[in-house]
Amino acid sequence: MKIIAYNVRDDEIPFIKAWGEHNEVEVDYSIDTLNSETLKQAQGYDGISCLQTIPYDEELFAEMKKMGITMLSLRNVGLDNVDLVAAKKYGIVVTNVPDYSPASIAEFAVTLALAVNRKVGYMYYQLHELGEFHFSADFMGKLISNQTVGVVGTGRIGKEAIRMFTGLGAKVIAYSKSHLTDSELNFTYVDNLEDVMDQADIIDLHIPGVPENEHLFDEAAFKRMKSSAILINTARGSIVDTTALIAALERGEIAGAGIDTLEDESADLQNSRSTAQVTDHNVLALSKMPNVIVTPHSAFHTDEAVMNMVNISFNNLMQKLIGSEVNNLAK
């Protein structure tokens, strides 16, 4: 049995090697993202592991079938970039890793919320853009324990976010299509997303990038939100209309944002070895705003998460290749 992993970062390599040695499976890796061209590197391998947010399209799955490769095992959770209809059409089994470390993403969302709320961006702007280093009236923040946090989506990650925000003393409200039934957490569900927009000082998104969630946060939403509110997005860029977000920030319709995921993420964003200068006009616009922290889709990135992403993805792959029941089939 031979496995190839695509788009591998240096921090994943020790976990990949350890898994291969432990399971006595030959595992090789490529630093390229996966598409119908780079797929040629997988000739002679039985299965593929990959992690990327750029598309896995029909052409890729058609080529995989031609090469006799029957499985694509993702090392991440999001499936919004996978043409699952095409995968099924060509008989390719796709798995993901839904539970690699929800706390890693939730903790980063809280980090962004605290940093924006306590004006860390303004302090960096003063030091790095103005070359000054002193107190400023602009730096005054607000205690999180005096604020209402609205968590959108109460799946694994949203639940962890609620735990962390309530631990910091915030009042938490949540909107979600499905409700936690066994929760010991101290928060209240609201009936509509609009209730979150009306009431929350910090809105924290933890919903998938499915079509029905596209641009839930648009011009109307930003006009509806409190002008003192902060938006945190570590989920998927497509949930937020980036043009509308930038306009709302410029007009002062909301007070700030922590943005880890943006619409149409580039292949370069996925390239951990890149030294290319940023050209994306949305990233550039957001990076110049002292009330915004923009990060390169890195909320997941902890040692615990990386280990689990590699191990669980490779276990899923091995289950298929040895003919046992496969966990984490993509739905």
Q: Is 112 in the site for ligand COI (CB under 6 A)?
A: no
**Whether 194 is catalytic:** no
Residue 297 known to be catalytic: yes
Under DSSP, the state recorded for 175 is E
Cα of first residue to Cα of last residue in the chain, in angstroms, is 26
Confirm or reject binding of residue 148 to ligand COI (CB under 6 A).
Answer: no
- Contact segment (CB under 6 A) with ligand COI among 1-9, 75-83, 117-125, 319-327 equals 75-83
Stretch that binds ligand COI, among 5-13, 37-45, 71-79, 142-150 (CB under 6 A): 71-79
251 part of the active site: no
d(CA 45, CA 57): 20
State the nearest-atom distance from the C-beta of 51 to ligand COI, in Å.
6
Residue with tokens 């790095």: 128
Sole binder of ligand COI in the list 202, 300, 308, 321 (CB under 6 A): 300
Contact yes or no for 278/262 (Cβ under 8 A): no
How far apart are alpha carbons 54 and 34 in whole angstroms?
9
Of 236, 253, 263, 301, the active-site residue reads 236
Beta bridge partners of 29: 5
Least gap, CB of 78 to ligand COI (angstroms): 3
Q: How far is CA 178 from the centre of its chain?
A: 20
Kind and range of the H or E run holding 236: none
Q: Which stretch binds ligand COI (CB under 6 A): 24-32, 72-80, 159-167, 182-190?
A: 72-80
The edge-to-edge listing of strands for the beta sheet with 188-189 is 188-189, 171-175, 148-152, 202-205, 230-233, 256-259, 292-294
Is residue 51 within the footprint of ligand COI (CB under 6 A)? yes
Q: Which of 75, 163, 206, 297 is catalytic?
A: 297
Interaction site with ligand COI (CB under 6 A): 51, 53, 76-78, 297, 300
Active site residues: 236, 265, 297
